[in-house]
Structure 1
């Protein structure tokens, strides 16, 4: 019976999915389009896989915002989908300016995303193994 313990441990360890810490930071946009109501009041909604990580503050009257918020997800997995949705905040209905989606990878990364309605979203993220 004792000889089967190493085999069971091997099987169980192969079922464990490696989790990592995702840190998203340095979100900024350039050349966001103006609306009928004037200059863009931009913000970004952030999710990773099924987890909603939150949203940035609204940057009023700024076509080139830089958001100071950082987002962390402790149970991210390599190849999870990072989704960033850029909106223009309005009184009645917030306009979706574009969506950036990317499968995350280990390491440090910076990406540019060209938004459907104009403008560019730039962001950085790190994905690394958790240390216990």
Structure 2
């Protein structure tokens, strides 16, 4: 029976290691963002996992179909954490939120389309593993 104790300890250590996984969010692009009186959206995206901010993209000026090159990584993500992407329109006084995309993380690679409340669609890919 004593020989099973090291095996149990090894399994407990292994299970605590695989709980946390690397999250990678990439291939962010939007289509058909709204235009207001001849002014095209100056869009950017903020990315967070749970309560941790992973950062934001650069601003794509005057582009209703922007694509962002930034990739976001987070080494302490867990399955079932909430991934949140917020799409914003940069303005002089305060930025307008175009929509929020939320997804519960699962292990693997997934591509998603998110329909924004003020018009347009955000496309993105994430990998958790």
TM-score, normalised via structure 2 length: 0.88
Shift of 1:50: 1.5
Cα separation, 1, equivalents of 2:127 and 2:82: 14
Q: Residue 48 of structure 1 aligns with which residue?
A: 49
Cα separation, 1, equivalents of 2:23 and 2:69: 17
Taking only aligned residues, the RMSD between alpha carbons, in angstroms, comes to 2.1
Cα separation, 2, equivalents of 1:113 and 1:53: 19
- What is the 5 A alignment of 1:101-120? 101-120=102-121
Cα separation, 2, equivalents of 1:114 and 1:79: 21
Cα separation, 2, equivalents of 1:34 and 1:55: 22
Q: Residue 68 of structure 2 aligns with which residue?
A: 67
Cα 1:11–1:107 shift into 2, 3 Å: closer
Moved more, 36-45 or 105-114: 36-45
Moved more, 107-116 or 4-13: 4-13
Q: Residue 30 of structure 2 aligns with which residue?
A: 29
Q: Which runs of 5+ in 1 are unaligned?
A: none
Cα 1:108–1:4 shift into 2, 3 Å: closer
Cα 1:103–1:5 shift into 2, 3 Å: same
Q: Which runs of 5+ in 2 are unaligned?
A: none
Shift of 1:7: 8.3
SS of the counterpart of 1:9?
Answer: helix
Q: Residue 9 of structure 1 aligns with which residue?
A: 9
Q: Residue 90 of structure 1 aligns with which residue?
A: 91
